[in-house]
Amino acid sequence: MSIERSEVARLQPYQQELAEVVRPAGVRAVLSAPTGSGKTAAVLSLLLQIVQDEPAANCLYIAPLKMLGDQFEARAIDRQLKTVSLQKRRLRSHPSEVAAPSEMRAASVAVATSADFRDPWVRATLANVVWDIIVFDDEQFVASHADIVLEFTLTHSLRTLVITRALPPEFESSDWGVIDWSGVLYSYPGTRSKIFPRLHVVPFGRSEQEEEVFDLVRAIDDLGRGVLDEIVSQIDSAAYSSLYALQAASLHALHEAMPIRNALLHGSVGPRDDRQIERQDAGDRARLVAAVAMMERLVDLIEATESDARLEALVTALSRDLRASVDDPVVVFTSRTQTRDLLIAELESVAPSVGSISDQRFAGGDQSDALIIVDDSSVKGFELPSRRGIAFDLPSVENSLVRMSRLRSGEGAPAEYWLLLDVSRSSHSQTDSVDALIQRFRE
């Protein structure tokens, strides 16, 4: 196996440096990397170079969830790395796959989840192999089980890479090297010097109807603690996006909450586990029933609301200030896939052409649009074909930094980033988020 030059060439210098630091045997390192900094691409390049140098190498990657492990495997296969999934159930059925290294020769990279790795039997099975490198890509697991990580890697691995944002105290007294990427989001691909983007804020206010919707969302969030915690949180987050996204989230939450409400009022039907419901006292049950009634009211209220001030503010900013064209396109960022589809439909009258970044990648770069709609799941690890972007829904500070780092900037032409800021009476948290972002520019 040989590494194509393009594999390394498409990495940024700080990503290439990871392989240079970790490749020597005996290295144990902690990578402090913010979201969206391209750590997965760098890790895959590192594993590819180790396997090229040592064709019989055994590499183990620990993912936080099976879904993320599957995604990592898919990206590894794209780079011609052979993988095997070491799930607990599979290990119990076929322990020889790991017990005898020769049985694993069909694969170079084994992928397991931290939930399985936490099991002593799984660790004992994996200990039959001396791993050339182990990558722990689960910050919460490392923070909670640093003793397990330290004990296992000292005995059963030649190299270890732990990906986290904060170094656990247990690592500070050991011989772990620290690689810090916390500042890379301020530098831009293709430039030798740091060019900071210009930040623009576009304030807007909601109508009285929308204020009523927002007030009801806050009331539902206050009432829905306990059994409905996870259900109502999806409504609260969608309230900072389009009414379309809020409607979708409200309908989904109501669909999940109704069976719980019905179980409280009428008893369960079917094989439900009601232990969590039974633990609620009378006051909590009353709050839960009231929250579901408010969710029904919210769905009706959204249906009757005629305006979407955030969407109107976006249209105004694009028409008045940005004026996108195919030669000078604008990226519209959103946190939600539902809103991405809405924006593609709603913005057709604003620009000559509108499409998503997925459409452009599928077309192999042959498609050009004046407006490019990008959701956060598509932005990581890629440079966008524009130096101008506008955030439709306000993300966290870290997500804004990731978005800005993917905009293209040239010599003397910094990237420009617009934020839609809701200044309505009940949106102080949004103002606080913008203040926090501006503070990061001053640091």
- Number of Cβ within 10 Å of residue 78's Cβ equals 9
Please report whether residue 416 resides in a domain.
Answer: yes
List the Cα angle 247/374/381 in 5-degree steps.
Answer: 130
Per-residue pLDDT at 189: 36
Quickly state the pLDDT bin for 24 (edges 50, 70, 90). Answer: confident
Residues, the chain: 443
Q: What is the CATH number of the domain that holds 82?
A: 3.40.50.300
- Whether 142 and 21 share a structural domain: yes
Q: Which conformational region is residue 412 in: left (phi greater than 0), alpha (psi within -120 to 50 degrees), or beta?
A: left
pLDDT by residue (tens digit) across 234-255? 777 777 777 877 888 888 878 8
- Whether 49 and 117 share a structural domain: yes
Higher pLDDT, 29 or 223: 29
Higher pLDDT, 178 or 379: 178
- Whether 409 and 372 share a structural domain: yes
User: Which residues, including other chains, have CB under 8 Å from residue 226's CB and lie 6 or more apart?
Assistant: 280, 284, 287, 288
Please report whether residue 187 resides in a domain.
Answer: no
In this predicted structure, the answer to whether residue 219 has a pLDDT above a threshold of 50 is yes
Per-residue pLDDT at 59: 92
Question: What order do you get walking across the sheet with 354-356 strand by strand?
Answer: 198-204, 416-422, 388-391, 330-334, 371-375, 354-356
Whether the CB-CB separation of 398 and 35 falls below 8 Å is answered with yes
Packed helices 282-304 and 243-266: angle between N→C axes, nearest 10 degrees: 150
pLDDT by residue (tens digit) across 92-105? 666 555 544 444 55
Report d(CA 355, CA 371) in Å as an integer: 6
Higher pLDDT, 319 or 165: 319
Tokens representing residue 313 in the block: 């503010």
Whether the CB-CB separation of 81 and 44 falls below 8 Å is answered with yes
Please report whether residue 191 resides in a domain.
Answer: no
User: Which residues, including other chains, have CB under 8 Å from residue 326's CB and lie 6 or more apart?
Assistant: 352, 353, 368, 369, 370
Please report whether residue 193 resides in a domain.
Answer: no
- Rounded to the nearest angstrom, the gap between the alpha carbon of residue 395 and the centroid of all alpha carbons in its chain is 12
Higher pLDDT, 186 or 297: 297
Quickly state the pLDDT bin for 396 (edges 50, 70, 90). Answer: confident
Which of 101-105, 174-178, 250-254, 375-379 has the largest mean confidence?
Answer: 250-254
Domain end residue (candidates: 287, 304, 321): 304
Q: How many domains does the chain have?
A: 3
Per-residue pLDDT at 102: 41
- Whether 11 and 159 share a structural domain: yes
Quickly state the pLDDT bin for 47 (edges 50, 70, 90). Answer: very high
- Whether 329 and 349 share a structural domain: yes
Per-residue pLDDT at 190: 35
Quickly state the pLDDT bin for 174 (edges 50, 70, 90). Answer: low
Please report whether residue 190 resides in a domain.
Answer: no
Whether the CB-CB separation of 332 and 392 falls below 8 Å is answered with yes
pLDDT by residue (tens digit) across 307-364? 888 888 899 989 888 888 888 899 998 887 777 778 888 888 888 888 777 665 554 5
The stretch 2-21 carries a mean pLDDT of: 67
Domain end residue (candidates: 281, 304, 327): 304
Report d(CA 238, CA 213) in Å as an integer: 12
Per DSSP, 413 falls in state: B
Domain end residue (candidates: 279, 304, 329): 304
Please report whether residue 188 resides in a domain.
Answer: no
Per-residue pLDDT at 85: 83
- Whether 366 and 266 share a structural domain: no
- Whether 123 and 41 share a structural domain: yes
User: Which residues, including other chains, have CB under 8 Å from residue 225's CB and lie 6 or more apart?
Assistant: 284, 287
In this predicted structure, the answer to whether residue 113 has a pLDDT above a threshold of 60 is yes
- Whether 41 and 173 share a structural domain: yes
Per-residue pLDDT at 400: 78
Structural domain boundaries enclosing 342: 198-206+308-442
Dihedral Cα 114, 34, 358, 43, nearest 10 deg: -60
In this predicted structure, the answer to whether residue 433 has a pLDDT above a threshold of 50 is yes
Give the least confident one: 54-63, 187-196, 290-299, 328-337.
187-196
The SS3 of residue 30 is: strand
Please report whether residue 189 resides in a domain.
Answer: no
In this predicted structure, the answer to whether residue 227 has a pLDDT above a threshold of 90 is no
pLDDT by residue (tens digit) across 58-82? 999 999 888 788 888 888 888 888 8
Dihedral Cα 423, 425, 430, 436, nearest 10 deg: 90
Per-residue pLDDT at 43: 92
Per-residue pLDDT at 233: 74
Per-residue pLDDT at 198: 78
- Whether 147 and 56 share a structural domain: yes
Per-residue pLDDT at 11: 73
SS3 of 283-346: HHHHHHHHHHHHHHHHHHHHHHCCCCHHHHHHHHHHHHHHCCCCCCCEEEEECCHHHHHHHHHH
pLDDT above 70 covers a percentage of the chain that reads 72
Sign, CA torsion 60/61/62/65:
negative
User: DSSP states of 123-155 as a string?
Assistant: HHHHTTS-BSEEEE--HHHHHH-HHHHHHHHHH
Per-residue pLDDT at 161: 92
- Whether 384 and 272 share a structural domain: no
φ, ψ of residue 113 to 5 degrees: the values are -100, 155
Tokens representing residue 395 in the block: 């993300």
- Whether 60 and 102 share a structural domain: yes
- Whether 14 and 163 share a structural domain: yes
In this predicted structure, the answer to whether residue 151 has a pLDDT above a threshold of 90 is no
pLDDT by residue (tens digit) across 271-284? 444 544 555 556 66
Higher pLDDT, 405 or 430: 405
Per-residue pLDDT at 84: 85
